[in-house]
Structure 1
């Protein structure tokens, strides 16, 4: 026979066990849910952090691209300025070459005119000269004049060859060795022209003036005065050039140099 009290106790114990198991199952389910939420929040935070890094990297890339674009524009500007400077430099070089060619041509024309005049004068003097005297011994005045002519012709040949630095040395040495030679004024003239050709305008003026001081009536005196004016024009001293040209026209009115001086006076501003 079944004891009712024992049966009741067994039922109560079973119910208690079931209740405990239910509570334990409920507690275990809540922990899993919380863990799932924590995992989801962690992944969300990581996703947000990754997105923020991408945004920052994108912004940094944009700034780098803007800097690069500015550098490219700056380089383009510098390249354009460099091209402009190169073109201007090319134009300046061309103008300088044209100016030098013009000066060289003018100098050569002047040399030819003076050589023609000198040849004509020498031929005239030879035709009108008396018979030559008897030969003289070496060391005499006549022999010395022959030496002067040889040194002078040698320096002039260097000038005609276009070696203006060498011509300066040759004529300067001639003047030192033969200061009283009848060819000394001509040597001063060609020395000044050689200095003019190398743009040593101040020294050229000094030698042209030395010629005018020593031999104001020399056949090359008008040309020397015109050359002084040319040097002053190159030195941008227009006032002095005008005064020199006016003096040239007044002092040597019938000379070809005076005619050229009148034309230059009309162009001076």
Structure 2
């Protein structure tokens, strides 16, 4: 430290000065100072030593005070850091919980939308026709078709007959009549089958199933021993739907009819 003199060094300086003064008194012929001057010099040296000692003590006290303040500052900083760590941990936990809540909400919304979608009309395509159908309407049609494909034709006829009555304006109606007629044919209800096939042709002559429906009418007429009506039906089929597979089959049937 600039200007700082250790007390011991000051004391040594005072001792040297005292020895020098004593030497001066011991040799009067070479004395440079009088008694009063010597005493003043000694007093000045003492004052300087005292001042230096006091300054050193004050510097020590200031150093102790600065060290104590530094320790307090470090403790305060450590306390603040720990508090920040706790706050960050709490925020991280809150953020993770928020993310879980958002994920749960998104799943809930998705589930809700899926459930709502089950009750919304949808666009479907059946036998070349595109239309909008209610979920229950589609479910009933597919259920009836499933019964038919399982070979339970009597149950299928009942299911399709119920569908036709329940959904008279349905886009499924032509296809439902076609499968109803086939189920009736399989159960030998030929007249009922003819009625449904004719209803399909009257309402939807350009339907994809129309040529097959006409051929099925002829088959029912053959089963009913009405050969004349069957021949007329087959001839009309060839004329109206000449490019269809049903027309090719009709030509073969005509050749076998007597």
The alignment's TM-score, normalised by the length of structure 1, stands at: 0.48
Max radius of gyration: which structure? 2
Higher helix share: 1
- The two structures have a TM-score, normalised by structure 2, of 0.50
